[in-house]
Chain A
Amino acid sequence: MSKQTQIRNFSIIAHIDHGKSTLADRILDFTGALSEREKQDQFLDKMDLERERGITIKLQSVRLPYKAKDGQEYILNLIDTPGHVDFSYEVSRSLQACEGALLVVDAAQGVEAQTLANVYLALENDLEIIPVINKIDLPSADPERVKDEVEEVIGLDASDAVLASAKAGIGIEEILEQIVEKVPAPKGDPDAPLQALIFDSFYDAYKGVIVYMRVVEGTIRKGMKIKMMATGKTFEVLEVGAYNPHPVAMDELSVGEVGFVVASIKNVKDTRVGDTITDAVTPAAEPLPGYRKTNPMVFCGLYPVDSSQYEDLREALEKLELNDASLAYEPETSNALGFGFRCGFLGLLHMEIIQERIEREFQISLITTAPSVVYHVYLTDGSVLQIENPTLMPEVQKIDHIEEPFVRASIMVPNDFVGTVMELCQTKRGQYIDMKYLDTNRVNLQYDLPLSEIVYDFFDLLKSSTKGYASFDYELIGNKTSNLVKMDVLLNGEVVDALSFIVHRDRAQHRGRLLVEKLKKLIPRQMFEIPVQAAIGNKVVARENISAIRKNVLAKCYGGDISRKRKLLEKQKEGKKRMKAVGSVEVPQEAFMAVLKMEEK
């Protein structure tokens, strides 16, 4: 147990690549939390995937004892946050669990859009923000310029900003001192009815769900009956504790403390991020503010390439769901692809991560249909449908109008690329909102854009057209009416439902043409000619033919080298494994995502 006045809860806000994980490691290292053996890079990012992508997906927290220069012992709780817009709600909850935040800004690159978004979240939560200018040892570092930028763009006093290099271990102690000095100790009454904020949970095969939480009021003890205020579920606490960074069991966690709770919870869906844990016997009058259920924004169909793996795919999704309350799925059937699941994700990154984990950890080769957003379809009979699978779009005659989700995008970009980005936003049906100069060279552009365009290829195009200099963030702002149509794709005269997509009427013909051209390239020639058509209703808007292949035989002598022949055949066999038979046509996996990979020219 620690004295409430000696506790400091903080998190780190940083753009990808600005060195958050390295800094976290240095802090662990400095406070003596890591043994020599554990000083592998990026201790906090547990999953391989996270480490490979250099991003944090699941949050972690760690409790660090620190003896400050004032001679007193403090408990610092570092709460790590995911660094991607898909997970912004999770970020906001972990920020709510803190009193302070380190704002890490790259000394050469300055403030980025994502950083800004998270800073605003921190400011909304009244956090004390400590600016840290990182990577000052880089030759291109310009800390003074970046300090100015922090002051101008964010409006923070950066005169005391710590000049640091996490990589070189510069400035770590000063960061810790500023945390002790500036971040307020948690308020609250240890004897009040329990209110603890869940900011993450995680499924453990042995203990069930492990809940990461921050005690805001009262005290949580082993043996206590607790209740989740949003879901109403009650559990008995088997274990409380904290990570140092290894789990250490404790008798209780009192007001202001951060740690974990184990209570035989079988499903992460019972421990929703943002929910409040209270005492089941003497509950708090009301939950902590800010809870909302996160809804999936992006949907796609997941199908096993090998249909016999359908049950394996179900098991994989069940296992992933244990650990991911925001993953939603339900069975669906496609004429083209057979049995699969329609899955909902927080965003594109979330979708890619789940796909990759299924393929990698469960070894199921997947066909993914192009992602779709949720369309609100108003029918002429006055009813409203929510359509997240283009195939299910009703006939045109029955539709009064369709609404689609829009986001407000904020794009930070060097001066030189403003024209390019504006042009891109226009072609993506964007509506100009605002443009602000951050300094003489950098501009923050705001556009309202249909989410579906972002789900398509907006991010890739933004990166490529600005040579990677643009940074980008968005928030959902609601639905707007758009003139949308459903485009079908026919292979060999048959509609392939898995290839249908929704598109703005003005761009339909163009997209249709691009798609059939792309499919012609992706689908290998077969023993018969295959017409590829794009159609709106019964009207064909584009057509290509994949001509028949006339022969496929190796007419070459490799002498006695049989292995060369076998290798060629094995390659052909492997290629065939990645094909899905749609009617009589063999279609490669990539074709189902082709709608995303079209170059708009």
Chain B
Amino acid sequence: MTPPKAVYIHIPFCATKCHYCDFTAYVVEGQPVDDYLDALAKEIEMTVRDAPPEQLESIFIGGGTPTVLTPVQMKKMLDIIQTYFPERAPAIEYTMEANPGTTTPELLAVIRDGGVNRLSFGAQTFEPHLLREIGRSHGVSEIATSVKEARTAGISNISLDLMFGLPNQSLDQMRDTLERAVALSPDHFSCYSLKVEEGTLFYHLEERGQLPLPDEEVEYGMYQLIRDYLLQQGYAQYEVSNFSKQGRESKHNSTYWKNESYYGFGAGAHGYVHGTRHVNVKGISEYVSRIDRGERPILQQEKIPLQEQMENYFILGLRLLEGVSLQQFKQQYGQPADHVFGDAIETLVNKQFLRVEGDIIRLTEQGLLFGNDVFVQFLY
């Protein structure tokens, strides 16, 4: 098996915690950030010693909010990455997640000098009261400012995250958000629907019946609006939640969808290296102390059985509108897809959820809207 060509690094710190967030992320104040970065360096060192990298095609620094690091800490982190992953493809995609309002010109300069060439801003919505309601720490004007400053600093590849299905959000508000977002002319959009996860403030509110989510019909309308509007504005949908200008599809995320391997470092990070998936411990002090003891900070790991790998190939791959290749499946797993999933594929084609065109299987329009019903068919 070839070494991963992608690296994910998790920075689990934020200025504040958003009301919907259940990712590994802690309010940064009082956290031992420098210890964490030292531990991160050691984790990377331990990992690449066993599984050395070749030339990388993408790096993704996510969170949390990586941009809550100070310029000094930021430089330290980027230097660590440079040290252990020096070999990079010329067209490498090097992304950092950022929150509007956290990117000072000084910090942006450090980020740019460290090699980052793509910023993904968590804009979420352009409705001021909605931003407050979901617990974001920035305002609307900071989105535009941050995008502009990023470009000024020389980072031209910009993605915006938007959310829909927020409490009391209306279709008109969604349209307004889209118009304002497109006006900033980013290269890429990720549009996620709010999912209420256990352990979040929203979960508790929903339990008590105090979370006025839009009904399904409205949420459906928003999704279709997003798709129509972005397409009309020159952003092609290439995945269930992702849209881009020509050639600006996220290479890093495509790693996940194509079921390819990737390194994952940091507290709570997931990795998939040489056929084994793992997730790291989530607590900062546990993460740091495990590494101080010379251990890898792995919470759980599992060698993925062949059946599950094959399932994932479809479950993940079909999220991409370009579809999956049957030929490639056969090359990868040594047997034709219709031996394993013949029934599922036939059922789904009959339901007009899937379309087969030569070597390619892809979702139909209906299949895209009922993606879960498609994917579930591939589970053993």
Using CB atoms and an 8 Å cutoff, list the residues of chain A in contact with chain B: 525, 527, 547, 549-557, 559-563, 565-566, 568-570, 572-573, 576
Specify the chain B residue showing the minimal Cβ separation from A570. Answer: B379
Cα-based distance from A559 to B217 in the complex (angstroms): 27
**A561/B270 in contact, CB under 8 A:** yes
Contact with A along B357-369 (1 / 0, CB 8 A): 0000000000011
**B8/A560 in contact, CB under 8 A:** yes
- In the assembled complex, B13 has its CB within 8 A of some CB on chain A: no
**B368/A556 in contact, CB under 8 A:** no
- Determine which of A547, A562, A569 lies in contact with B376 in the assembled complex, contact meaning CB atoms within 8 Å: A569
- 8 A-B pairs with CB atoms under 8 Å apart are A552-B369, A552-B371, A552-B372, A553-B372, A557-B253, A563-B279, A566-B312, A569-B372
Given the complex, which residues of A lie within 8 Å of B241, measured CB to CB?
555-557
**B270/A554 in contact, CB under 8 A:** no
**A549/B376 in contact, CB under 8 A:** no
Specify the chain A residue showing the minimal Cβ separation from B8. Answer: A560
Specify the chain A residue showing the minimal Cβ separation from B192. Answer: A556
Using CB atoms and an 8 Å cutoff, list the residues of chain B in contact with chain A: 8, 23, 62, 190-193, 195, 216-217, 220, 223, 240-241, 253, 256, 262, 264, 269-272, 277, 279, 312, 315-316, 368-373, 375-376, 379
**A555/B223 in contact, CB under 8 A:** yes
A573-B376 CB under 8 A given contacts A550-B217, A551-B369, A559-B62: yes
Specify the chain B residue showing the minimal Cβ separation from A571. Answer: B376
**What's the nearest-Cβ distance from chain B to residue A386, in Å?**
45
**A555/B193 in contact, CB under 8 A:** yes
- Determine which of A550, A556, A562 lies in contact with B256 in the assembled complex, contact meaning CB atoms within 8 Å: A562
A554-B240 CB under 8 A given contacts A560-B262, A560-B264, A562-B277: yes
**B262/A555 in contact, CB under 8 A:** no
Cα-based distance from A549 to B373 in the complex (angstroms): 12
Given the complex, which residues of A lie within 8 Å of B193, measured CB to CB?
555-556
**B195/A556 in contact, CB under 8 A:** yes
**What's the nearest-Cβ distance from chain B to residue A573, in Å?**
5
Given contacts A550-B369, A555-B191, list 16 more A-B pairs with CB under 8 A.
A525-B216, A549-B216, A550-B220, A552-B370, A553-B240, A553-B371, A554-B195, A556-B193, A556-B195, A557-B192, A560-B269, A563-B279, A569-B315, A569-B372, A569-B375, A570-B379
Given the complex, which residues of B lie within 8 Å of A560, measured CB to CB?
8, 256, 262, 264, 269-272
Cα-based distance from A563 to B373 in the complex (angstroms): 17
**B379/A569 in contact, CB under 8 A:** yes
**What's the nearest-Cβ distance from chain B to residue A209, in Å?**
44
Cα-based distance from A551 to B376 in the complex (angstroms): 14
Given the complex, which residues of B lie within 8 Å of A551, measured CB to CB?
220, 223, 369-370
Specify the chain B residue showing the minimal Cβ separation from A527. Answer: B370
Given the complex, which residues of B lie within 8 Å of A547, measured CB to CB?
217
Cα-based distance from A570 to B315 in the complex (angstroms): 12
**B369/A559 in contact, CB under 8 A:** no
Cα-based distance from A555 to B279 in the complex (angstroms): 22
**What's the nearest-Cβ distance from chain B to residue A523, in Å?**
15
Given the complex, which residues of B lie within 8 Å of A549, measured CB to CB?
216
**B192/A561 in contact, CB under 8 A:** no
Given the complex, which residues of A lie within 8 Å of B270, measured CB to CB?
559-562
Given the complex, which residues of A lie within 8 Å of B368, measured CB to CB?
553
Specify the chain A residue showing the minimal Cβ separation from B220. Answer: A550
Number of A-B contacts (CB under 8 A): 83
**What's the nearest-Cβ distance from chain B to residue A556, in Å?**
5
**B373/A552 in contact, CB under 8 A:** yes
Specify the chain B residue showing the minimal Cβ separation from A565. Answer: B315
Given the complex, which residues of A lie within 8 Å of B191, measured CB to CB?
555
Given the complex, which residues of B lie within 8 Å of A557, measured CB to CB?
190, 192, 241, 253
Cα-based distance from A547 to B240 in the complex (angstroms): 24
Q: Lowest 8 CB-CB distances: which A-B pairs, in order?
A: A553-B371, A550-B220, A560-B270, A551-B369, A555-B193, A555-B241, A552-B372, A569-B376
Given the complex, which residues of A lie within 8 Å of B379, measured CB to CB?
566, 569-570, 573
Specify the chain B residue showing the minimal Cβ separation from A575. Answer: B376
Given the complex, which residues of B lie within 8 Å of A576, measured CB to CB?
376
Specify the chain A residue showing the minimal Cβ separation from B263. Answer: A560
Cα-based distance from A376 to B244 in the complex (angstroms): 71
Specify the chain A residue showing the minimal Cβ separation from B370. Answer: A552
Specify the chain A residue showing the minimal Cβ separation from B164. Answer: A555
Cα-based distance from A361 to B192 in the complex (angstroms): 45
- Determine which of A527, A550, A561, A566 lies in contact with B315 in the assembled complex, contact meaning CB atoms within 8 Å: A566
Given the complex, which residues of B lie within 8 Å of A572, measured CB to CB?
372-373, 376
**What's the nearest-Cβ distance from chain B to residue A557, in Å?**
6
Cα-based distance from A274 to B370 in the complex (angstroms): 61
**What's the nearest-Cβ distance from chain B to residue A546, in Å?**
12
**A553/B370 in contact, CB under 8 A:** yes
Cα-based distance from A576 to B379 in the complex (angstroms): 13
**What's the nearest-Cβ distance from chain A to residue B95, in Å?**
12
**What's the nearest-Cβ distance from chain B to residue A570, in Å?**
6
Cα-based distance from A582 to B195 in the complex (angstroms): 31
Cα-based distance from A566 to B308 in the complex (angstroms): 10
Given the complex, which residues of B lie within 8 Å of A553, measured CB to CB?
240, 368-372
Specify the chain A residue showing the minimal Cβ separation from B372. Answer: A552
Given the complex, which residues of B lie within 8 Å of A562, measured CB to CB?
256, 270, 272, 277, 312, 316
**B192/A563 in contact, CB under 8 A:** no
In this complex, the member of A562, A570, A573 whose beta carbon has the largest number of chain B beta carbons within 10 angstroms is A562
Specify the chain A residue showing the minimal Cβ separation from B226. Answer: A555
**B192/A555 in contact, CB under 8 A:** yes
**What's the nearest-Cβ distance from chain B to residue A145, in Å?**
44
Cα-based distance from A566 to B376 in the complex (angstroms): 9
Given the complex, which residues of A lie within 8 Å of B264, measured CB to CB?
560
**A550/B371 in contact, CB under 8 A:** no
Cα-based distance from A569 to B277 in the complex (angstroms): 18
Specify the chain A residue showing the minimal Cβ separation from B60. Answer: A559
Cα-based distance from A569 to B256 in the complex (angstroms): 17
**What's the nearest-Cβ distance from chain B to residue A579, in Å?**
13
Given the complex, which residues of B lie within 8 Å of A566, measured CB to CB?
312, 315, 379
Specify the chain A residue showing the minimal Cβ separation from B311. Answer: A566
A550-B216 CB under 8 A given contacts A560-B264, A562-B312: yes
**What's the nearest-Cβ distance from chain A to residue B242, in Å?**
8
**What's the nearest-Cβ distance from chain B to residue A37, in Å?**
40
Cα-based distance from A568 to B369 in the complex (angstroms): 16
Given the complex, which residues of A lie within 8 Å of B220, measured CB to CB?
550-551
**What's the nearest-Cβ distance from chain B to residue A230, in Å?**
54
Given the complex, which residues of A lie within 8 Å of B23, measured CB to CB?
559
**What's the nearest-Cβ distance from chain A to residue B191, in Å?**
7
Cα-based distance from A566 to B220 in the complex (angstroms): 23
**What's the nearest-Cβ distance from chain A to residue B96, in Å?**
14
Specify the chain B residue showing the minimal Cβ separation from A547. Answer: B217
Cα-based distance from A569 to B190 in the complex (angstroms): 22
Given the complex, which residues of B lie within 8 Å of A556, measured CB to CB?
192-193, 195, 241
Specify the chain A residue showing the minimal Cβ separation from B242. Answer: A557
Cα-based distance from A547 to B312 in the complex (angstroms): 32
Given the complex, which residues of A lie within 8 Å of B370, measured CB to CB?
527, 551-553
